[in-house]
Amino acid sequence: MRQVKITYMPQKVEQWVVSGTTIQEAAVAAGVEVEALCGGRGTCGKCLVRCSGVPTEPSPAEQEKIRPELLASGWRLACRTVVAEDMVVEIPDQGAGQLIKGNLSVATGVLAGSGEGQSALVKIHLKTSPSSLEDPRADWDRVQALLPQSQSQVDLKILRELPVLVRQNADLTAVLYRGEILALEAGDTTAKAYGCAVDIGTTTVVVSLHDLRTGEVLSVTSAFNPQRAYGGDVLARIDFSLHGQNLEKLQDLIVEAVNVLIEQASAQAGIDTKSIYLVSVVGNTTMQHLFLGLSPRHIAVPPFVGVLYAGLDFAARDLGLRIHDGGRVTLLPHVAGYVGADIVAGVLATGLYREERPTLLIDVGTNAEIVLAANGTLYACSAAAGPAFEGANISCGMRAGTGAVDRVWLEADDLHYSVIGSSEPQGICGSGLIDVVGELLQAGVIDGTGRLLSREEAKPLVGLTLAGRLYEGENGEEFLLADRGPLHKVRLTQGDIRQVQLAKAAILAGVHILTKEMGIRTEDIQRIHLAGSFGNVLNRRNARMTGLIPPGVDLEKVKYAGNSAHIGAQMNLMRAETGELAREVVKRIKYIELSDRTDFTEEFTEAMMFEEGGLFG
C-alpha cells in the first residue's frame, strides 16, 4: 500500500500513513489533538483544519458546515478528508473560534510546544589544553576537571579512544546522562542531541523522534506490533513465550520493529541514528518484559507477579538498539502484573496524580486498565474486557483498518455508517461496534437485557425502514448494517451483543469496585479520561449508553486523553524529573486485584444489563 506524508503545523510533526486514511485517523495515531465532539461523524464542525494539497472536492458535510470562501482557501473537516497525496495540515487552536457558517471568527491560536523541562541527557562543550611538563596530568584527569561533577565510573571504550581524541581536538563534547559520561566526541556537537519516545502496545508500536534541546517533535512513525502473529493478547503471547526459544523470538521481533521505526523516523528528519542517545520506552507489564527478554511466565498465573516493576535504565547496545553506542534506554515503572508502565505514563500525562476531585482514567483494550484518583489517593485495577473491541469474537469484527465500519449513527429513521479509507465495508471495528449497539439501544431495538428484537417487534417502535434490517439468522436475530453481496454482509448478531455486554460489564464492575474503595458513587466522578487509540474515537453518548462510561456521568465530563502512554513516554524523555515522579506516584497507587474480590461477581452480573433505550437521549 502506498505511503503518503502528512506534516502538521504548527507542531512541525511529520507522519507517514497509508493513502486513504482520514486526517482525523492519522492525527490520533500521531498524538496530534484534533477536536471532534461528534465522534468524527462530520456533524459538529469542530475538527476544522487547513490543508494544502487536498485532491478531493468537499464532502456534503463540509459544504454544509463550512462557509464557501473558507472552503476555497483550504479549510476542511479532518474526519471527512482523506489523505491521498503528501499534505500539510494546519491545526488551529480549537478554542479560539469556529469556522462554521454563522460564525465569521477565524481561529488563529497556536498550540503549545513540547519543550518544557530539561532532558536527563545533556551535552557539554569542552575546551581542552594540551599536556605539558608543567601540567602532566593524565588525559582523563584533564577532561574530568572540565566536567560539572566528578565521574566515579567511565567506559573503558572511552579511555581507549581518549589519547588520540584529546591530541587531535582542542574542542570536545561530553555526553552526560544523569551526570554519568556516556561518550566523548570530537568538536562541538552540542547542536545534535536526539532521543526517541516509544510506546509498545499489544497491537501497535509508536515512535516519535525529538530534539532533546528543544523538545520539538521531528517525526512520528508507527507500525503493527509484529508479535501479534503469535497471539492477539498478552496471555497468548505469554503462553507462546514458554516454549523453546520463543521468548528470544518475541524479543527479537519487537526490538527489530523498534529499530526499523527509529530508522524511519531518523530518515524522515534527516538525522543519523548515531545522534540518538536516549530512548524512553513504555508498555504494559508483559510488553516491557518481552522487550527486555524477561520471562512473563508468572504474570499469567496467581498471584500474577512479574520479574521487574521498577523503572530502570539499560545500555541500548545490550538490548540491540541501533542508536549511539553509548546510548541509554529508560523505562517507567509498573504497578502490578496487569497495570503497567503505560498506565503510569497515562497518570502522568493526564495529571491524574494531582487531582483532588474524583477523576477516572480508563484505557480500553483487551485488558482495560482503570485508575480512580481523588485527594492524593489513587486506586487501580485491570478488568479483563476481552478482545471484542479489537474485532475478535465478533461475527464481522476486524481491527480498525481500511474497510472497517468505524462510526454508525441514526438519521432519518435509518442507520448510516462511515468506513475507514472510504472503501467498501468489509467488517466492523470496536468504535463502530459500540456505535451500532448504542444506537440500537437508543432506538429500542435492543432491550435492557441485551436481547435483539425481531422485525415484527421492532416495527411499531422504529418503523419499517430500520426494522427491515432485522432478520433471523442461523443463531438467532441479526441486524444487517451493510449488504455488499453474499460474501460482504456486515451484520450484528445476538452473540456480538453478548460479547459487548461481557466486555463492558468487566469495565463497569471495575469502576464500581474502585468507587467503593474510595467511598464515593459513580455520580460523584467529576471527570473521565478515555485513553488509547480505541478510547479516542469512541462516541461518548454511545459509550455511556452501552455502559463503557458509567450511567449518570455528564458527557461534558468525559475527555479524550489521546495516546496518553506515548505522551508519558515523551515526558520521561524530555524531563529529567519524570522518573522520580513516576516512582513516587506508583507508591501512592493502591492496586485492587478484581479476581480476589468476593463482590466482583455480583457487580459484574449487575453490569451486564443495559440501561433502557432513550434514557440519555
102 has a pLDDT exceeding 50? no
Number of H-type helices and E-type strands within the chain: 19, 26
Instruction: Give me the mean pLDDT over the 385-402 stretch.
Output: 81
Closest by CA to 503, choosing from 616, 607, 363, 611, is: 607
- pLDDT for the residue numbered 376: 86
Confidence band, pLDDT 50/70/90 cuts, at residue 473: confident
180 and 214 in a single domain? The answer is no
Q: Provide the β-strand partners of residue 280.
A: 197, 330
pLDDT at 97 over 60: no
In a domain, 105, yes or no: no
pLDDT of residue 91: 79
Neighbours of 136 (CB within 10 A): 9
pLDDT above 80 for 369? yes
Q: Is the pLDDT of residue 213 over 70?
A: yes
Residues 361 and 389 occupy one common structural domain? yes
Q: Measuring CA to CA, which residue among 403, 351, 391, 398 is closest to residue 373?
A: 351
Give ∠ CA 182-184-189 in degrees, rounded to 5: 105
pLDDT band at 390 (very low <50, low <70, confident <90, very high): confident
Does residue 364 lie within any of the structural domains?
A: yes
What is the band of 45 on the pLDDT scale with cuts at 50, 70, 90?
low
**Structural domain includes residue 255:** yes
438 is a domain residue: yes
Q: Are 439 and 463 a contacting pair, CB within 8 Å?
A: no
* Domain's final residue, options 264, 299, 331: 331
Q: How many CB atoms are located within 10 Å of the residue 223 CB?
A: 14
pLDDT of residue 79: 80
Same domain, 449 and 361: yes
Whether the pLDDT of residue 356 is over 60: the answer is yes
Read off the pLDDT of each residue in 345-350 and give the average, rounded to a whole number.
96
- Calpha distance 553→471 (Å, rounded): 35
Number of domains in the chain: 4
pLDDT exceeds 80 at position 392 = no
In three-state form (DSSP H/G/I as H, E/B as E, the rest C), the secondary structure along 2-37 is CEEEEEEECCCEEEEEECCCEHHHHHHHHCCCCCCC
Please check whether residue 61 lies inside any domain of the structure. yes
Same domain, 358 and 487: yes
Nearest to 569 by CA among 348, 263, 350: 348
Alpha carbon of residue 85 to chain centroid: 25
Question: Residue 39: pLDDT band by 50, 70, 90 thresholds?
Answer: very low
Which of 66-75, 106-115, 288-297, 568-577 has the lowest average pLDDT? 106-115
Last residue of one domain, picked from the residues 272, 303, 331: 331
Q: Is residue 596 part of a domain?
A: yes
Pairwise CA distance, residues 281 & 251, whole Å: 14
CA-nearest of 135, 114, 323, 308 to 211 is 114
The confidence score (pLDDT) of residue 228 equals 83
**Mean pLDDT over residues 378-399, rounded?**
85
How does DSSP classify residue 101? T
Of 51-60, 263-272, 302-311, 437-446, least confident by mean pLDDT is 51-60
pLDDT digits (tens, 9 = 90+) for 274-292: 999 999 999 999 999 999 9
Q: What percent of the chain has pLDDT over 90?
A: 62
| Confidence check: pLDDT of 406 > 60 | yes
Is the residue at 98 inside a domain? Answer: no
Same domain, 174 and 200: no
Element housing 384 (H / E): strand 377-384
Classify the phi-psi angles of 426: left when phi > 0, otherwise alpha if psi is within -120 to 50, otherwise beta: alpha
Mean pLDDT of 509-518: 96
Q: For the domain that residue 126 is a member of, what is the CATH number?
A: 3.10.20.880
Task: For residue range 300-320, list pLDDT tens digits in order.
Answer: 999 999 999 999 999 999 999
* Residue at which a domain ends, from 90, 109, 143: 90
What pLDDT is attached to residue 95?
Answer: 31
Confidence of residue 612 (pLDDT cuts 50, 70, 90): low
Q: Is residue 342 part of a domain?
A: no
Burial of 601 (0-12, 13-18, 19+ CB in 10 A): exposed
- Residue 167 and residue 297 in one domain: no
* Residue range 374-388, pLDDT digits in tens: 988 999 999 987 778
What does the block give as the cell for 511? 469502576
Domain assignment of residue 14, given as a range: 3-90
pTM greater than 0.85: no
Per-residue pLDDT, averaged over 155-178, amounts to: 94
The DSSP secondary-structure symbol of 550 reads P
Output the average pLDDT for the chain: 87
The single-letter DSSP state of residue 66 is B
Q: What is the pLDDT of residue 93?
A: 46
* Identity of the residue numbered 31: G
State the angle between helix axes of 600-607 and 494-518 in degrees (0 to 180), rounded to the nearest 10: 130
Q: Do residues 528 and 566 share a domain? A: yes
> Are residues 323 and 369 located together in one domain of the fold?
no
What is the reported pLDDT for 387? Answer: 75
CATH number of the domain enclosing 221 = 3.30.420.480
> 199 with 170, same domain?
no
pLDDT value at position 280?
98
pLDDT value, residue 28: 67
Mark whether 398 and 451 lie in a shared domain.
yes
Least confident of 122-126, 258-262, 306-310, 418-422: 418-422
Gyration radius from the chain CA atoms: 26
Higher pLDDT among residues 130 and 103, named by residue: 130
Identify the band that residue 262 occupies on the pLDDT scale cut at 50, 70 and 90: very high
Task: Specify whether 364 is located in the same domain as 405.
Answer: yes
Q: Are residues 206 and 165 in the same domain?
A: no
